[in-house]
Structure 1
Amino acid sequence: MSDEQATSFGGQAGSYEVGRPEYPFEAVTWMLDRAPAGARRIADVGAGTGKLTRALVAGEGAEVVAVDPDPAMLAALRDAVPGVPTFVGTAERLPLPDASVDAVVLGQAWHWVDPVAASAEIGRVVRPGGVLGLVWNLRDERVDWVRRLTDIMHGSNAEIMLAAGDPVVAAPFGGLEQERWEWVRPVTREVMHRMASSRSYVITADDAEKARIRRDMDALFDELGLYDDATIELPYVTRAFRAVRD
């Protein structure tokens, strides 16, 4: 994966916010079930426009801070989730004090990091007994038209990584636990175009490739009868992982 792709999202923050799905609240709750009881401080790292942040804020009694390398994404987050403190940083270099949080979570982000360096740095800011949570929303490609959609857009780095096996988490965190949820999201043709526009491969593609992707997506949507404001149920599998700091 390229640095250009990893840092490409800010220019498409609006499409990211519209096109990407929310996280199931059950998945967010599950990631944090092993965190210390009582008042919790949680860092959302790679927070983007706040898709995961808003689910964390909705949880009772949590104090949330958001970290992302892209100031444009954090600006969109502040609009979407007012009042959450935001900081520019990465999983390998966190602008947080030692042992200052009970949990660090990453939504749609661990595939961009160096897992050994990130585990060590997150271990620095998480208190002993605290939790590292990782979550991804993945389109369910067991459905034929969804698989064809991915072929048109190209697989993402997350999809490629998780197809090869579970994510790597290193010391000072213990073994990974995992869970999954299946659900559907009603989407329009325009929302799926916005979703595609927010993907790193598409953002960094040349104009000819972007035009090819849009043309082939439109042909698929025509075949599906997806016009104007009509919706289709896009199936997702949410995969969540958690590990406890030693």
Structure 2
Amino acid sequence: MPSTPDPHSHSDRAASFSTGADVYARVRPTYPTEAVDWMVPRDADRVLDLAAGTGLLTGRLVSRGHDVVAVDASRPMLDELTATLPGVTTHVGTAEDIPLPDGSVDAVTVGQAWHWFDPPRAAAELARVLRPGGTLAVVWNDRDERIDWVGRFGEILHAGDALRPDNDQSAHPPSLGDAFDPIEAAEFRWLYRLATADLRTLAGTRSYLLTLPPEQREQLLQRVDDLVVTHPDLAGTTEVAMPYVTTAYRARRR
């Protein structure tokens, strides 16, 4: 009998995304075109999307004409990716053990996932699979919680969360070691439009809620429902524009 996931366990949280991959793909935001253009050189032929999940960033790379290979630790997430992007090669793997040959890609992207990695081991693996002069890009989508209702939404998502991996990682550039040139950073502000009713669904895709006991999970989701019907910016609406700040980092392989 499988053990009950622990919401305060880093490994359990990392493994939680295999649950409901189709919902994740439907409600999680993608990344703004301007950010992807900044992250990945146009002349990069082979691009690895590491921790690709359901393909929210992978699709952006495919649309730019890159030959993309997607690696993720979750087969259910990759199955969801393949359903929408059948031409993308996929492999089950981790940042610490990437199933690709040395020097086999021109660029690597990591979307919303660096905090799940062991940084020294991941940086060494990324340096191994990148060709000299290749680009590594790490990107984060953070809700702009200066907006009142967005801040209250974020408070609900992290109520009681001892790990809180979101909305603070983007302020810290990834540690890459001596194999990479100095890191560059850029910020992009944009709006993600979704049905107001899907705020509850979006909340339910967070690793913290995915690992909570059902009763505690439902209590937090009910607080999201209450916010939707009581906050003046949300009450009576059918669609909402969630403000996001996308923070991207890039560095070249020496």
TM score, norm. by length of structure 2: 0.90
Consecutive unaligned residues in structure 1, runs of 5 or more? none
Q: Which amino acid in structure 1 is aligned with residue 183 of structure 2?
A: L
SS in 2 for 1:116: helix
Q: 1:220 to 1:39 in 2, by over 3 A?
A: closer
- CA distance in structure 2 between the aligned counterparts of 1:85 and 1:91, rounded to whole angstroms: 17
TM score, norm. by length of structure 1: 0.93
2:147 is aligned to 143
Q: CA RMSD in A?
A: 1.7
Corresponding pairs, count: 241
- CA distance in structure 1 between the aligned counterparts of 2:64 and 2:28, rounded to whole angstroms: 21
Are residues 1:51 and 2:50 paired?
Answer: no
SS in 2 for 1:170: coil
User: Which of 160, 183, 204 in structure 2 is aligned with 1:197?
Assistant: 204
Deviates more, 1:148-157 or 1:101-110: 148-157
Are residues 1:94 and 2:101 paired?
Answer: no
Consecutive unaligned residues in structure 2, runs of 5 or more? 1-8
1:240 is aligned to 248
SS in 1 for 2:248: strand
Moved over 6 A (4+): none
Matches within 5 A, 1:1-246: 2-33=10-41, 38=43, 40-60=45-65, 62-154=66-158, 156-163=164-171, 165-224=172-231, 226=234, 230-246=238-254
How far does residue 75 in structure 1 lie from its aligned partner after superposition? Answer: 0.2
More helix by share: 1
Q: Which amino acid in structure 1 is aligned with residue 244 of structure 2?
A: Y
SS in 1 for 2:167: helix
Q: Which amino acid in structure 1 is aligned with residue 53 of structure 2?
A: G
8 A contact 1:19–1:196 mirrored in 2:
no
SS in 2 for 1:47: coil
